[in-house]
Amino acid sequence: MLFSYYDDDYRNYQASNLPMTHANLSPVIQRPRRLRRTPALRRMVEETQLTVNDLIYPLFVMEGEGQKVEVVSMPGSYRYSLDLLLKEIEDAYNLGINAIALFPLVAEAKKDNVGTESYNSEGLIQRTVRAIKQTIPDIVVITDVALDPYSSEGHDGIVGENGVILNDPTVEVLVKQALSHAEAGADIVAPSDMMDGRIGAIRKALDAAEYSDVGILAYSAKYASAYYGPFRDALDSAPKFGDKKTYQMDSANAREALKEVALDIAEGADMVMVKPALAYLDIICEVKKTTNLPVAAYNVSGEYAMIKAAGQKGWIDEKKVMLETLTSMKRAGADLILTYFAKEVALILK
């Protein structure tokens, strides 16, 4: 019955002795399934390809030797002491992963309200960056610039009276932190704090110190999200009071994200980021429309943990859901994806 009107068209054409033209034909029914018929056809017309070059691998580093401690709320993700971290990075690089992002687990005794340890030239991150660059020099090293791992209060900024997060004094410390990372050999610094003006201040300081080749990946649209819980478990960096809503963005806001992105670009960002990714695909899409800079998306710890937990329960096909989720971020407009799945994806793609 689907093609019955074609028969009518043809009979009418024969009876009329007129040339068959668009004017006397019914509309042609489209058959999109023709291009889905075989795996080769599907690959040929696939619009979005996830590749290993899209991946940035976030890694947690801790003090000590011979230590590899699983993050309970992030199955398959670990805190590594430096010696084992180097091996993990080497494995990732051999799989084709081009970049890693470092996050430190800082001893409680080294934390204070002003993040002094964050710019210690012999601090954990600074020593780690130097060791990576000596061992695997070609991998891109991205360092987190924020105070929360170093803060006795668990906030991304210095806490003033009545619990107010102090913007400008925090930026001064972030500049020192970024400079110490550049001196250690970081390729890219990634301010994740959401303080106003920090991109411009860091760019100016890097250039003045002759680190003009060091890039800035700005956490431009970072939302105050409940998806960060497992990450805070990994670094023991949950805020000791209140929340982060006075500096991280309201999850209901989209236009504000575009404003934040525009400000960071004007201040000298080389790349911009949307964080989290999965619940903010619309933001990734809108940001991509507004800039020619590379757009990164952070497939954050809560997104990772949900897939892992459901996979362990047998409720989903973990690998297929993982790939579908990451592909959705690429399809939305992400050029780069920070994901704890990076090594697993690289193995599958290889």
Q: Which two tokens stand for residue 138?
A: 């070609």
| Terminal-residue alpha carbon distance, the chain | 46
Of these residues, 111, 244, 275, 343, which one is catalytic? Answer: 275
Collapse the DSSP code of 273 into the 3-class scheme (helix H, G, I; strand E, B; otherwise coil) and give the result. strand
Angle at 39 between CA 33 and CA 40, to 5 degrees: 100
**What's the distance, CA 42 to chain centroid?**
28
Q: Decide if 240 is catalytic.
A: no
Q: Which two tokens stand for residue 329?
A: 């971020």
Which ranges constitute the DSSP H helices of the chain?
4-16, 39-44, 82-94, 124-135, 167-184, 198-208, 229-235, 255-267, 281-290, 301-313, 318-332, 342-349
Beta bridge partners, 79, equal: 60, 69
Q: Decide if 222 is catalytic.
A: yes
192-224 exposure pattern, b = at least 16 Cβ within 10 A, e = fewer: bbbbeebbbbbbebbeeeebeebbbbbbbbbbe
Of these residues, 222, 244, 308, 343, which one is catalytic? Answer: 222
Residue 82: what residue type?
A: L
| Residue labelled with tokens 């399934």 | 33
Give CA separation, 193 vs 45, 85, 311, in Å.
Answer: 41, 25, 32
Active site members = 222, 275
